[in-house]
Amino acid sequence: MNYDIAIDGPAGAGKSTIAKKIAAKKNMIYVDTGAMYRAMALYMIREKVDLNDPAAIAAKCENVEISIRYEGGVQCVFLNGENVNSLIRTEEVSEAASKTSVVPEVRRKLVSLQQELATLEDVVMDGRDIGTKVLPYARKKIYLTASTAVRARRRFDELMARGESAKLDEIEKEIRDRDHRDMTREESPLMQAEDAILVDTSEMTIDEVVEKILSLIKD
């Protein structure tokens, strides 16, 4: 059986940064499931689907093909054959992904793709429902979190570093709204799996978090 690591938690907890580093150190494949939900959301935006209409989203998602390939060790997400990596990190897509990912048909489609990837390789997979739904038998499960204020500040600093404008209080509100949607949706809400280890990164550096998780994996 494969050795898989599941990392779940809210937006801005540092999941993807940490998961990438763990995967590199352990020679495993990093799977960013949020990128798949983002690609699906981009499709819905392009098709001008009403994001508040689950039935319309469900019908549209039938025709979408999302796949993952690795180029130079980097995960690339393909939407109907087009590499959309550079198009899915905008606030518009973040908001849309939070809405489209509540739709059961979207989740069914992407969860089966994620499970298929995990049968092929040892993976470090991050998302919201990896430990609870996608890989319930993962060898290690981590629930990575941080306070809302810290997550908002990290996002704000990231945008500033990219030369984009942003308001800290608006970012914090968006994070709260997104957490609320992710945690209260009916299908696979974000929650800590019973057997997941909680790591609060509020007061930790990236290297400290990586060290901590590596030590947990060693046990």
Rule CB under 6 A: which residues touch ligand DC?
Answer: 11, 33-34, 37-38, 97-98, 101, 127-129, 178, 182
Closer residue to ligand DC, CB minimum distance, 38 or 141? 38
d(CA 15, CA 143): 9
**Shortest gap between Cβ of 95 and ligand DC (angstroms)?**
8
Closer residue to ligand DC, CB minimum distance, 151 or 219? 151
Closer residue to ligand DC, CB minimum distance, 118 or 218? 118
Q: State the Cα angle at 47 between 166 and 110, rounded to 5°.
A: 80
Specify the residue for token string 């979190």: 145
- State which H helix or E strand residue 165 sits in: none
| Residue 98 amino acid letter | S
User: Contact 16/142 with Cβ under 8 angstroms?
Assistant: no
Closer residue to ligand DC, CB minimum distance, 38 or 213? 38
**Shortest gap between Cβ of 163 and ligand DC (angstroms)?**
21
Which has the closest alpha carbon to 6: 130, 179, 151?
A: 130
Q: b vs e for 73-90, b when ≥16 Cβ sit within 10 Å of the residue's Cβ?
A: eebebebeeeebbebbee
**Shortest gap between Cβ of 12 and ligand DC (angstroms)?**
8
Closer residue to ligand DC, CB minimum distance, 11 or 210? 11
**Shortest gap between Cβ of 188 and ligand DC (angstroms)?**
7
**Shortest gap between Cβ of 182 and ligand DC (angstroms)?**
5
